[in-house]
Amino acid sequence: MDEEVTDAMQSDEPAPRARRGGPRSVKRSLASIVLGFETIVVFLAALVTYGLNAVPPFVALGGGAVLVLSMVALIGLLRYSWSYPVGWALQAIVIATGFITPAMFFVGALFAAMWAYCMINGTRIDNQKEAS
């Protein structure tokens, strides 16, 4: 039985590979967390907008769906440097939804502040990790 274990350990199979692209940056991790939670809130806000009859149902639910899907897609695209300015644009769009549902001015500002905090501190931590 010990020979089987030894043979399995000495097989010619390659070891499992590490994550492609190296270690994940703190900035990317924080951005994905903020976008993940924001996706849930924007989905619920679209339902509230629909329930308030502030705009036609297609606009409320369709616009909310487009915004939610774009946030989910952006989470997967955070490996590219151009995705962070797109994230800022999405934050501006969420704030602008306050013109339809006024509470979204406050909610959007909170998420924009969290996004800014994550971008600033994530970049700072990543730079410190690089320097050491």
SS3 87: helix
Domain count, the chain: 1
- The answer as to whether 118 is a domain residue is yes
Q: What is the DSSP letter of 18?
A: P
Give the span between the Cα atoms of 128 and 131, in whole angstroms: 5
Q: Is 70 part of a structural domain of the chain?
A: yes
> Residue 117 is encoded by which pair of tokens?
């905090």
| Token pair of 80 as six digits | 């590219």
- Residue 34 located in a structural domain: yes
Structural domain contains residue 113: yes
The tokens of 49 are what? 């907008």
Any domain includes 51: yes
pLDDT of res. 68: 98
Domain range holding 115?
25-124
- Measured CA to CA, the distance from residue 125 to residue 24 in angstroms comes to 12
Tokens of 118: 């994550």
What are the angstrom distances between the C-alpha of 34 and each of 8, 111, 131?
A: 43, 7, 26
Going by C-beta distance under 8 Å and a sequence separation of 6 or more, which residues neighbour residue 125?
26, 27
pLDDT in tens, the chain (132 residues): 555 555 555 555 555 554 565 578 999 999 999 999 999 999 999 999 999 998 999 999 999 999 999 999 999 999 999 999 999 999 999 999 999 999 999 999 999 999 999 999 999 999 999 988
Query: Does residue 130 form part of some domain?
Result: no
